[in-house]
Structure 1
Amino acid sequence: MKRRTLSITLGAVVVAAVAGGFLLPFDGGDAGASGRSGDLPPATATVVRTDLVQSKTVDGKLDFAQRRAVKSAVEGTVTVAASEGKTLTMGQALYELNDKPVTLLYGPVPMFREMKVGDRGTDVLQLERALRDLGYGANLYVDTRYDTDTEAAVKRWQKSLNRDTTGRVGQGDVVFQPGPVKVVSADAALADQVGPDTPVLTIASTKPVVRAQLDQTDGALTARGTRVEVTLPSGKTVSGDVAGTVRPEDSAAGGGAGAQEGITVEVVLDGGVKAASGEDTAVSASVKFVSEARKGVLAVPVEAVVALRGENGGYGLQVVRGTTSTMVRVETGMTADGLIEVSGPDVREGLKVGVAKS
């Protein structure tokens, strides 16, 4: 079945037809009325069963979700800079400061204090989970208490990193993130002096996304869960869903005055990392937003629809059989690419219907 695109409005078409004087010979007659040979329409079309799709296609850029900056919590010198493009997992160093690694650990709570014996909190809980998962948590009961067992596990971990075995975890020692991260950019180079709140690197999740900009009038297409069809730089087509909108300055496309004029949406690709494997992120992708789709419906050209007269009003089709024609009432639905969905007890695939002469 052929897919139809590009939305139009039935009301506008009917109004245009009336204004232009090319309504069918019945001129909006009553349903059930019959016409003679001289009342036949100037042209006909066939009722077809097809798919109707309302959509909009724009350019997009392949990127990774949830970009954010990692800032230094303490002063120091960058002795090993972040590696752009690298994917890092728990226990690996994001970068090194003063010849000591700043380690990635998993957890939703950011590092906001030094942790030591006697402390309690969810940050302690996620630290103990990380120590256990990294293999340093022998005899460690994972809870929200930082006790001597926690201290012992921290010392074993610090020794493996060539750190001073203090048994305490400082703000500049670790960075907590929800999961694996991809290094988007190294914002501080080797030997750079950094201090509190200085961006050292920009990271993102490992989930591939496509960012695309829509017009302000396309707000309906930005709804979370809107289905999207993406043609990647290689020509491969994959499906995805709108995850939400992002601020223009967070978009890979960059900021600027132009970026403020539209809405930047983030699309999550089906298939995850594999979907975008090997793709050239420097080349634009084509993003097709599907706002509505109707599959396997009966449809006719919008010019075939007649506004019925009478107190019941509504719409009808002039069904042509040989040298006669009959007006039948129909319910109308979605419009797309010059076609309109029609339904009713007297409508079936293959019927010949009148069409206004353009």
Structure 2
Amino acid sequence: MHSPQRDALETAERSVPVFAKIEKRVVAEQLRAPLTFVAGTTYKAFVLEASKQAESVAAAAPAAANASVDNTGAAAEAEAGQDRPSLPKPYVPDIDAAVVSAVLRSPGSVVSTGQVIGEVSNRPVIAIPGEVPLFRNLVVGTRGEDVAGLQRMLIGLGYYGVDDSGEMGSGTLNAMARLYQEQGYQLPFVGDGVRGVNWRELLRLPKPTMTVVSVAQVGEKLNGDTPFMAFEDKPAVLKTELTVPEAEALAPGVAVGVQIDSAQPLRAAVHSRGDAVTNKESGKVTREVVLPLPEGVTSDSLKGATALLVSLDTAAESLAVPLTALRQDRGKTYVLVPTSENKAASAEKADKRSAAGGSEQVTAESERGFLRISVTPTKQAAGWVSLKTDELEVGAEVLVSKLASQ
């Protein structure tokens, strides 16, 4: 007879095996790191004067003193029936101020040299390189650095018949006319009957391509306080500090997710990755990872928001077991499967596997009733391990608890 106390102690010391079923799941380390928003800098472009066209025909020469004039003041040539057909005159806005008449670009769009980016007082505004020192109207015969800069721009845009002599010739004028025509406009008249380049229609930008941040609205009067457009000079970015192992996988160009508040992650590619730096106070070694703003995300939308860098889970499903199911013996990794549950593992098959260096029937007293199955771990995350094995299937049970002797 045993006392109740002794029976209770023996029961408490007896190890109860715990099993887990093999699952098919994605095993991947989910990186989550807070992102810091770093605002960019902007370049404000101003249009202070409206472009006004001259007459499309040259002014008539003054009439001679003895010219015959009829009672309506018409010239004598009209009496002879030689009326000259009148040419259509371009619309000239009846305003002196620069007023936005058309918005052709929106925040987030990219503007390039040579593009019409909007209209002021019904005339186009064309982006040109900042190094073109334009300060006057240009006509055939004009010489100077401003002409040479404009010629270099046209050559860079692929227009033929242009040289960089610094003198405005017919080739340069025709190229500018084509640039206007390709975008639905006509080269302006800068003098009566004389087409040329009106400097008020050209807007200098510091870079060949820039991203629009803000645009003045149609009807808005432009002045020294109200820019026509504002461009992103230095782009806004998102930054984070990661441990060296975390940053190792995030080389420039690698796709990651940016989660803003609780929304679905947006795709972004790593822009740059800094060198390892040791924090003097904490001693922690980190690397800075820089991301651009995801497509469609603006600086304004990030104000007051919480942003996280998350890894984009692209791993495929595979067989997986809890980490505690893995065991090692003499450099081999294996799991223990109860023979009563492993219907595919008969003693004969176990012998064959053992001979092939795979699974083996366990003879140790502590592992009696189990079959060792060799596995190759591939990934580990969140307490699970993905396995490479041809001997296990989804649903098979593996031992996750310690053995009775352990």
TM-score by length of 2: 0.48
What amino acid is the match of 1:327? R
Distance of 2:188 and 2:163 partners within structure 1: 24
**Any residues of structure 2 matched to 1:87-98 within 5 Å, and which?**
90-92=115-117
Q: 1:327 aligns with which of 352, 372, 377?
A: 372
Alignment of 1:111 onto 2:130: yes
Alignment of 1:49 onto 2:71: no
Higher RCO structure (Cα 8 Å, ≥6 apart): 1
Q: 1:219 aligns with which of 231, 247, 252?
A: 247
State the match for 1:245 in structure 2. Answer: 272
Alignment of 1:298 onto 2:273: no
State the match for 1:203 in structure 2. Answer: 231
What secondary structure, in the 3-state scheme, does the structure 2 residue paired with 1:348 have? coil
Percent of matched pairs sharing the same residue: 14
Return the offset for 1:227: 2.9
Distance of 1:300 and 1:354 partners within structure 2: 10
Do the aligned partners of 1:58 and 1:212 also contact (CA within 8 Å) in 2?
no
**Any residues of structure 2 matched to 1:129-140 within 5 Å, and which?**
none
Change (3 A) 1:176 1:163: farther
Return the offset for 1:294: 2.5
Q: 2:154 aligns with which of 106, 124, 127?
A: 124
State the match for 2:170 in structure 1. Answer: 148
**Any residues of structure 2 matched to 1:170-209 within 5 Å, and which?**
173-175=203-205, 177-179=207-209, 181-183=211-213, 203-204=231-232
Alignment of 1:353 onto 2:326: no
Distance of 2:270 and 2:26 partners within structure 1: 26
What does the per-residue CA deviation read over 1:24-50, in whole Å, with 9 as the maximum and x for residues that have no partner?
A: xxxxxxxxxxxxxxx987321111110
Return the offset for 1:103: 4.0
What secondary structure, in the 3-state scheme, does the structure 1 residue paired with 2:212 have? strand
Distance of 2:212 and 2:149 partners within structure 1: 31
State the match for 1:5 in structure 2. Answer: none
Change (3 A) 1:204 1:69: closer
What does the per-residue CA deviation read over 1:158-217, in whole Å, with 9 as the maximum and x for residues that have no partner?
A: 9967978765979x842275557322599xxx8659xxxxx9975239xxx994332142
The runs of 5 or more residues in structure 1 that have no matched partner are 1-38, 130-140, 194-198, 248-259
Return the offset for 1:261: 8.6
Do the aligned partners of 2:270 and 2:289 also contact (CA within 8 Å) in 1?
no
Distance of 2:155 and 2:400 partners within structure 1: 72
Return the offset for 1:244: 0.6
State the match for 1:265 in structure 2. Answer: 291
What amino acid is the match of 1:314? K
State the match for 1:70 in structure 2. Answer: 43
What secondary structure, in the 3-state scheme, does the structure 1 residue paired with 2:27 have? strand
Do the aligned partners of 1:227 and 1:239 also contact (CA within 8 Å) in 2?
no
What amino acid is the match of 1:321? T
Greater Rg by CA: 2
Distance of 1:348 and 1:144 partners within structure 2: 74
Return the offset for 1:117: 5.4
Distance of 1:162 and 1:59 partners within structure 2: 57
What secondary structure, in the 3-state scheme, does the structure 1 residue paired with 2:271 have? strand
More strand by share: 1
The runs of 5 or more residues in structure 2 that have no matched partner are 1-13, 50-96, 134-144, 217-221, 275-285, 341-367
Return the offset for 1:338: 0.5
Distance of 1:354 and 1:296 partners within structure 2: 22
Change (3 A) 1:70 1:239: closer
What does the per-residue CA deviation read over 1:283-331, in whole Å, with 9 as the maximum and x for residues that have no partner?
A: 525444327643111111111111222xxx1311111233821111111
What amino acid is the match of 2:25? T
